[in-house]
Amino acid sequence: MANKPTYEELEQKIKVLEQEALERKKAEAALRELQRYTRGLVEASPDSLVTISSEGKITDVNRATELITGYPGDKLIGTDFSDYFTDPQKARPGYLKVFSEDHVRDYPLEIRHRNGKVTSVLYNASVYHDLKGDVAGVFAAARDITDLKKIEDALRENENRLEELLAEIAAKNAELESFVYSVSHDLKAPIVTIDGFIGALEEDFGDILSEEGKKHIMYISNAAQKMELLINDLIELSRIGRLTEIKREFPFARLVQDALKALQPQAGARGIAVNVQDNLPIVYGRRKRLGQAVDNLLANAVKYIGKDNPNPRIDIGVQEHNGQKAFFVHDNGIGIPEKYFDRIFQTFERLPSAKQLAEGTGIGLRIVKQIIENHGGKIWLTSEPGKGSTFYFTLKDKED
Ligand code: ADP
């Protein structure tokens, strides 16, 4: 038979029990505090938060869910989760996917408010487990993306408008180019007539014309020739966008060789030293057009090398620029003041220093710029008056 506990022993036991009860109370208070805290967080979320049982029934919601659906929490709990979407057939596989994959990310759905208002949302959900570690349900959060959608729609509209505008500009450009082309052609006919009659005048009346008269005829003849050059350049300019030459790969060095061959008489007569870098790369583009660009740049280098240049020199090569190949044509000629760097690429722009030195129409660089930009490249220059100029340009690599 067990001994009766002594009074002290009983007192001791009671103390232990009292201590245990106190600790349980403390733990319960801490748990209640934690629950209040978590609930506070859940309710503070502007996203709709829902827990769903494995049968697809709503087991808990926050205030944001009540607002987005228009139903109070107690009406939502116990109902089918997929009933609150415009497309329940799409919502169901959405939460089933969570069970098979543990989570879903940014699943697009539309929630219908009881008053009919539809809100676009992105769902993010993951499964949650009970104490035993079994899947107890799904925790789902829906983010309202109405504003995002509005921005997207506005962006799309802007993009469409931009495309329309670009198409309009392209059509206007094509119209303008063909206008310039036909006007230039029409202008050529009277110039040919003027040229012809000047020749006839000289032939038939050369003997009886005074020196002053002959001078006048020479001025008319020079002006007619200049006009012809201008018209030819304008025709060239208007053709750039319309040529349908196919792009292909070819050695850049060939363009340089061809251009130098054509310029040899002028360059030789001035004693210009031409230095072409070895191993120029293969480029991709329209060979004739790019050839014309190189021709114009080299012709300018020769033209503007300067009359009294003791060591005239031209360098042609390629160098790295911002991770791209930049081709360059350098001369140690008369140079260009920085304030004209943009203007020289415009049609008919010629600098006073150039006019004294050589004939020109002021269209050559405009043609070069257009060709390079049509090839997706950029053109720019560095220059210092009296020291020389370097024209650089890039080309787009072959698209795969
Ligand atoms: P053009 O040579 O027929 O005048 P461009 O359009 O080729 O026309 O050139 C425009 C102007 O830019 C030239 O008139 C000249 O003033 C200047 N220019 C072009 N290339 C050079 C160069 N290499 N050195 C100095 N000036 C140049």
Cα(313)–Cα(263) distance, integer angstroms: 14
Supply the pLDDT for residue 131.
87
Predicted TM-score (pTM) of this structure = 0.63
Centre of ligand 1 to C-alpha 170, Å, is: 28
Angle (CA) 88-89-94 rounded to 5° is 85
Nearest atom of ligand 1 to the alpha carbon of 233: 3
Query: Stretch 149-156: mean pLDDT, rounded?
Result: 94
Contact between 367 and 236 under an 8 Å Cβ cutoff? The reply is: yes
Average pLDDT over every residue of 107-135: 93
Model pLDDT, residue 281: 96
User: Atom 13 (ligand 1): residue with closest C-alpha?
Assistant: 350
Distance 365 CA to ligand 1 centre (A): 7
Whether 272 shows a pLDDT value over 90: the answer reads: yes
Tokens of 346: 């415009």
For residue 234, what pLDDT is reported? Answer: 86
- The sheet carrying 379-384 orders its strands as 273-276, 313-321, 324-331, 388-394, 379-384
Q: How far is Cα of residue 239 from the mean position of the Cα atoms in its chain? A: 27
pLDDT band, residue 174 (cuts 50/70/90) = confident
Phi, psi of 31 (to 5 degrees): -65, -45
Classify the C-alpha dihedral 13-19-22-28 as positive or negative.
Answer: negative
Residue 153 pLDDT: 93
Residue nearest atom 8 in ligand 1 by C-alpha distance: 362
Q: pLDDT (tens digit, 9 = 90+) per residue, 310-360?
A: 999 999 999 999 999 999 999 999 999 999 999 999 988 899 888 888 888
Q: Are 357 and 335 within 8 A, CB to CB?
A: no
Q: What is the mean pLDDT of residues 38-50?
A: 93
What are the Cα distances from residue 38, in Å, to 14, 45, 62, 74? 36, 11, 11, 19
Ligand 1 center from residue 12 Cα (angstroms): 109
**Going by CA atoms, what residue is nearest to atom 3 of ligand 1?**
360
pLDDT at 1: 54
Element (H, E) at 58: strand 58-61
Burial of 67 (0-12, 13-18, 19+ CB in 10 A): middle
Distance 348 CA to ligand 1 centre (A): 10
pLDDT at 400: 60
CA 384-388-389 angle, 5° bins: 85
Ligand 1, CB within 6 Å, residue ranges = 296, 300-301, 304, 331, 333-336, 344, 349-351, 354, 360-366, 389
Separation between Cα atoms, residue 312 and residue 334, nearest integer Å:
11
Q: Determine the distance separating the centroid of ligand 1 and the alpha carbon of 321, expressed in angstroms.
A: 24
Q: Which residues contact 311 (CB under 8 A, 6 or more apart)?
A: 273, 332
pLDDT band of residue 3 (cuts 50, 70, 90) is: confident
Residue 34 has pLDDT above 80, yes or no: yes
CA of 352 to the centre of ligand 1 (A): 10
Ligand 1 centroid distance, CA of 300 (Å)? 6
CA–CA separation, 81 and 52 (whole Å): 7
> Which of 274, 339, 344 has the most ligand 1 atoms within 8 A of CB, as the residue to mutate?
344
pLDDT higher than 60, residue 308: yes
Among 234, 332, 365, which is best to mutate for testing ligand 1, by the most ligand atoms less than 8 A from CB?
A: 365
Neighbour-count burial for 143-159, b at 16+ CB within 10 Å, e otherwise: ebbeeeeeeeeeeeeee
Q: Say whether pLDDT at 28 is over 60.
A: yes
pLDDT digits (tens, 9 = 90+) for 214-265: 999 999 998 898 888 888 888 888 887 766 778 999 999 999 999 999 999 9
Cα–Cα distance between 71 and 65 in angstroms, integer?
Answer: 8
Give distance in angstroms: CA of 383 to centre of ligand 1. 12
pLDDT at position 23 is: 94
Average pLDDT of the residues in 150-178: 92
pLDDT tens-digit map of 55-82: 899 999 999 999 999 999 999 999 999 9
Distance 132 CA to ligand 1 centre (A): 84
Q: Which of these ranges, 21-30, 172-181, 189-198, has the smallest mean pLDDT?
A: 172-181
Which of 302, 336, 393 to mutate for ligand 1's pocket (most ligand atoms within 8 Å of CB)?
336
Residue holding tokens 């004209």? Answer: 340
The answer to whether 365 and 253 have CB atoms below 8 angstroms apart is no
pLDDT value, residue 49: 96
Pick the range with the lowest mean pLDDT from 230-239, 279-288, 326-335, 363-372: 230-239
pLDDT at 140 over 80: yes
Mean pLDDT of 174-198: 89
Number of the ligand 1 atom closest to the C-alpha atom of 367: 6
CA of 391, closest atom in ligand 1: 23
Residues 6+ apart with CB under 8 A from 106: 122, 123, 124
Q: What is the mean pLDDT of residues 293-300?
A: 97
Q: Which range among 49-58, 159-168, 347-356, 389-398 shows the weakest confidence by mean pLDDT? A: 347-356
Average pLDDT over residues 195-205: 91
